[in-house]
Chains A and B, each alone.
Chain A
Amino acid sequence: MLNGPELPEAIRLDNGLTVIHKALPTPVITVDVWLPAGAIVEPEGCDGVAHFLEHLIFKGTERLAPGDFDQLVEAGGGLTNAGTSYDYVHYYCCAAEGQLPQLLAGLAELLLAASIPDHEFERERQVVLEEIRQYEDDPDTVALAALWAAVYGKHPYGRPILGSVESLEAQSSESMRQFHRSHYRPEQMTLVIAGEIGRDRALELAEQCFGEGRSVPKVMAAQAGDAVAIAPSAKPKPPLVSTELGGIHRHAIKLPTVEQPRLMLAWPGPGIDQAETAVGLELLTVILCGGRLARLVQDLREQQRWVQDIDCDYSLLREGGLFTLTAWLDEENLERVEDRIRHHLRELASQPISGRELERAQRLLNNDFAFSLETSEQWADLLGYHQVVATLPLALAYPQQVLQWTPDALQALAQRYLSPEHYTAMVLLPEGKD
């Protein structure tokens, strides 16, 4: 593991585009374009714009009709998709080598020259509203969104990535084009090319498709006013988490379709600038919930049998992270389960875990890491994410960081971040059943 894979370099083309090439013995090649234009750059009142634009990008350009690119990719045997998060948005294609020149040219065209026709804008808004409705019918998603909103308040991390009916109704095709012009320039993009393809060939393709001399329409120049309207720095962001708030903050939501109540507890933690600390918190998620031997699973599910399941997660974002515990349980167990969780947190803070427990958690995380780097798509994901949200070297530093933690250091970490007296609690209950 330690003399593992080699870190590729990030190469800057003349037009500002960053290219990362990763040679792999995989016949499926992935091209993946990353941009820091996630929900975090949305102006106030424009919730969901970053994700909506991700949909609209596929609506074509002056030269590509809507659907042309999808047809080009899929009829050639490849696939394409995209994803929007708080800190980034990315667009990728997986295909065989022979298909690459066409696909990459198409992808570049979509990203740099999206035209966002008015009628496509209206129709796609309906699609996103359907997406919102679908998520509203999923209790776990609803509860998680409510939890994030409760913790992060007015900071962008407290917003729904999909936005709301109101925020989307407030947009126009022109406001979307403006958002696109401001955030989708070559100098803001990182292109990862991973798979069985040589470095020279990869760079040549990147230059052809994204470079100044590309055979597709020129990038639209930014217009006066764009920067002011969109730049997130125009106004300081609200603080990530209000620090003066202490104690336990309780929230409850009720939904008519809920069969199994949930208890969710959350603690804010460090962001990507303290990636090593985040890895420590990830180790604690394994100690608590990673497997049948983990403390909370063993106690609450296996021994007491008070929960159907219990899960723990550390979501790492650029500006901060969230440590979340979720239990699926019957309503009458809510109180005693929360008490037991607090008991276990006190224990983590008051005595070091055993060397055996630590080693188990380390091996699990490092094995999972090894198993998450089998395909070119996974590699592109890892490299693109780190280049855009963190730093590229961090991409492969993970196994080493996992091994650096000691029982004493983890105890100190639990003391610092996982207070049994200060957290946010969210309960999800069936409507009209109490």
Chain B
Amino acid sequence: MTETLASPASTDQLPQRRVLANGIVVLVKPNPTADIIAARLFMRGGSGWETAEDAGLTNLLAALLTRGTEKFSSLEIAEQVESVGAGLGTDSATDYMLLSLKTVSADFASLLKLAGEILRSPSFPESELELERKLILQNIRSQREQPMAIAFESLRQLMYGDHPYALPGLGTEESVAKLDQAQLRAYHQRHFRPDNLVISIAGRIDIDEAIAHIESVFGDWVAPSEPLAQLTLPAVSTQPSRIQQEQPTHQAILMLGYLGATVSDPGYASMKVINAYLGNGMSSRLFVELREKQGLAYEVSTFYPTRLEVAPFGAYMGTSPENAAKALKGLHYEVKRLCDAPLSDEEVEATRKKMLGQYLLGKQTNAQVAQVYGWYETLGLGLDFDDAFQAQLEQVNAADIQETAAKYLQKPFVSLVGPQEVLTELESVELA
């Protein structure tokens, strides 16, 4: 029952949390079931700190971390990871940079040691920098093969304007061409420090064992005396507008975007309900109305990621050219409808239960557990964020939802991709 589903977020099952003397936050969720350990090392920072000139710097840095340190070459690092069949990867996001580890328990200590070397003493070798630059530039071009990616990229730029959230995580061809070692070193110097690090672990390990390993690798890392840099982002000051891009595709991609509530906004929980109600699963409103009842799409959904800053809310679908006008009107109608009329209590309740169930479904693997709690900690949301959010969710009613919709979902930013004839036809579709 749903009661059972909600329980894993209760406090007795939260990971244990310790803060080391140098400021590192350690989270451990023991799970003896299998002989494996997953770890996520979050370094705060991320592409939110970038400008148009250095867009892609965090991504490049993440890629280069495993390509050379003071002690090891790229090949030696690969040797240490691959010889034991482990996984070690790096990634960058808007608000942080991530190092992920998965190992069998016996190899964990040695892989953590390597992770320490990678985070603390990367050397950014010139030759590796040139290779990664080339690979990233190719990757940027490859993105243009995916109509959904093209539509999303443009939508984000429209919505965020001069704000760093507008920048593509990979960077642009212009910015990536110019990134250099000095910028990488400065970025590392500024963000990579123990009091900016969260280490989240799940698997066959207990907290004392984990702390002992972490102390031996990171214990002598001293936080610099200057305070951590604080990021102040400009306000988002864009107005809804529309972009159309011609592509010789079989489907037209229709995407509506709205500037949504931040995680600390009172409308946050309502907006999460709206997202789940409209776009989450086969019982969701868009799926039922546009796919099941009208056959207009295979993929139709929404997104609303949790962000400290203004978060994007989007609704999108792919549809055949001859249905594009009807589909665009239908997609917009379903969002607009939430501003104009309240949901029924049954709809709110069913959506709430769907969301509660998904919290359990989203924390099944060790990697998922390490990721979710590490991310809560990194964003400063607190480990009990699930509980707090569920309490918020209990309070949300149909009137709150309509009020939130009316506040955020009035007029969309619109991003369309498809053949020229379709775009011409869609120009006359007014979404007021």
Instruction: Choose from B102, B131, B250 the contact partner of A133 (Cβ within 8 Å).
Output: B250
A130 near B288: Cβ-Cβ < 8 Å: no
**How far in angstroms is the closest Cβ of chain A from B105?**
10
Is there a chain B Cβ closer than 8 Å to A66's Cβ?
yes
For the complex, count residues of A whose C-beta is within 8 A of B.
72
Is there a chain A Cβ closer than 8 Å to B116's Cβ?
no
In the complex, chain A residues 330-353 whose Cβ is within 8 Å of any chain B Cβ: none
Convert B139-156 into 0s and 1s, putting 1 for each residue whose CB lies closer than 8 angstroms to a CB of A: 101101111000000000
**How far in angstroms is the closest Cβ of chain B from A214?**
23
A139 vs B79: C-alpha distance when bound (angstroms): 33
Q: In the complex, what residues of B have CB within 8 A of residue A66's CB?
A: 292
Number of A-B residue pairs, CB cutoff 8 Å, is: 190
Convert A91-116 into 0s and 1s, putting 1 for each residue whose CB lies closer than 8 angstroms to a CB of B: 00011111100000000000000000
Chain B CB within 10 A, most for which of A70, A130, A292, A366? A130
Is there a chain B Cβ closer than 8 Å to A138's Cβ?
yes
**How far in angstroms is the closest Cβ of chain A from B136?**
10
Task: In the complex, identify which listed stretch (B2-10, B206-214, B224-232) lies at the interface while the others stay far away.
Answer: B2-10
Is there a chain B Cβ closer than 8 Å to A78's Cβ?
yes
Is there a chain B Cβ closer than 8 Å to A212's Cβ?
no
Known contacts: A133-B320, A260-B142, A291-B78. The answer to whether A77 contacts B360 by CB under 8 A is yes
Q: In the complex, what residues of A have CB within 8 A of residue B103's CB?
A: 367
Closest partner residue, chain A, to B291 (CB atom): A127
Q: In the complex, what residues of A have CB within 8 A of residue B249's CB?
A: 137, 257
Closest partner residue, chain B, to A260 (CB atom): B142
**How far in angstroms is the closest Cβ of chain A from B125?**
12
Q: In the complex, what residues of A have CB within 8 A of residue B141's CB?
A: 259-260
**How far in angstroms is the closest Cβ of chain B from A110?**
12
In the complex, chain B residues 289-341 whose Cβ is within 8 Å of any chain A Cβ: 291-299, 318-320
Known contacts: A27-B8, A292-B74, A370-B36. The answer to whether A136 contacts B85 by CB under 8 A is no
A70 vs B293: C-alpha distance when bound (angstroms): 14
Is there a chain B Cβ closer than 8 Å to A401's Cβ?
no
Closest partner residue, chain A, to B146 (CB atom): A138
B360 near A75: Cβ-Cβ < 8 Å: no
Given contacts A79-B358, A96-B5, A130-B295, could you give 20 more A-B pairs where the C-beta distance is less than 8 Å?
A27-B360, A28-B360, A67-B283, A70-B283, A77-B358, A77-B361, A96-B4, A123-B293, A128-B298, A129-B320, A130-B296, A133-B250, A134-B298, A260-B141, A291-B81, A292-B75, A301-B135, A364-B85, A373-B34, A376-B364
Listed in ascending order, the chain A residues whose CB lies under 8 Å from chain B are 1, 25-28, 58, 66-67, 70-71, 73-80, 94-99, 122-131, 133-134, 136-139, 256-260, 290-293, 301-302, 305, 308-309, 328, 356, 359-360, 362-368, 370-371, 373-377
